[in-house]
């Protein structure tokens, strides 16, 4: 028990054990570091109270799906940090069961994935700018790999008279 306590108190992932109604049974100290709340500040409140309004319904549905299933649940959602901004969490949850196999509580391990989400968003915006630039260029642009055209922009389709499908299914050397 001492070793388990030391592990949960010193890990960066946020560990939480909740009853089947969403009330806290155990909250690891890492919640203060990750979300800015002291354990006793939120202990008597539902875990769903700080979920972003746009994520509440899907998060509750995932929770209900998790407590009725036999597989661990994995979910990404936003929660309100103590200072008011929202943090993206990835949570893996599984059921604690009694000797008869009945669910008694849920053990959740969460980690902050906000940096990852920001990077994904930046990459998506970059890809959108790139796609817009390439698709609207005044020059024909083709991407060729292993002798096959992998991408062709609208200018190339209009300039050469082949359809996009013809470009993508015909080896490049057959078109030269």
Q: For residues 69-92, give the mean pLDDT.
A: 91
Q: What is the pLDDT of residues 50-70, one digit of tens each?
A: 899 999 999 988 888 877 777
| R_g of the chain, CA atoms, integer Å | 25
Query: Alpha-carbon distance 11 to 15, whole Å?
Result: 9
Token reading at 102? 């009945």
> pLDDT exceeding 90 applies to what percent of the chain?
50
Q: What is the pLDDT of residues 98-149, one digit of tens each?
A: 999 888 999 999 999 999 999 999 999 999 999 899 888 999 999 999 999 9
First to last CA, the chain: 73
C-beta of residue 95 within 8 angstroms of C-beta of residue 103: yes
Q: Assign 47 a pLDDT band (cuts: 50, 70, 90).
A: confident
Q: Assign 40 a pLDDT band (cuts: 50, 70, 90).
A: low
More confident residue, 115 or 22: 115
């Amino acid at each position: 028990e001492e070793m388990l306590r030391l592990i949960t108190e010193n890990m960066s992932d946020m560990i939480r054990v909740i009853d089947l109604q969403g009330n806290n049974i155990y909250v690891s100290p890492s919640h203060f570091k990750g979300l800015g709340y002291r354990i006793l500040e939120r202990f008597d409140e539902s875990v769903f109270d700080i979920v972003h309004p746009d994520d509440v319904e899907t998060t509750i549905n995932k929770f209900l799906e998790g407590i009725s299933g036999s597989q661990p649940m994995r979910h990404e959602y936003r929660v309100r940090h103590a200072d008011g901004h929202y943090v993206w969490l990835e949570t893996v949850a599984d059921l604690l069961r009694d000797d008869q196999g009945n669910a008694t509580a849920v053990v959740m391990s969460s980690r902050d994935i906000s940096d990852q989400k920001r990077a994904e968003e930046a990459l998506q915006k970059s890809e959108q700018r790139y796609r817009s630039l390439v698709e609207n260029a005044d020059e024909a642009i083709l991407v060729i790999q292993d002798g096959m055209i992998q991408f062709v922009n609208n200018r190339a389709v209009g300039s050469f008279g082949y359809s996009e499908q013809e470009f993508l299914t015909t080896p490049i050397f057959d078109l030269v």
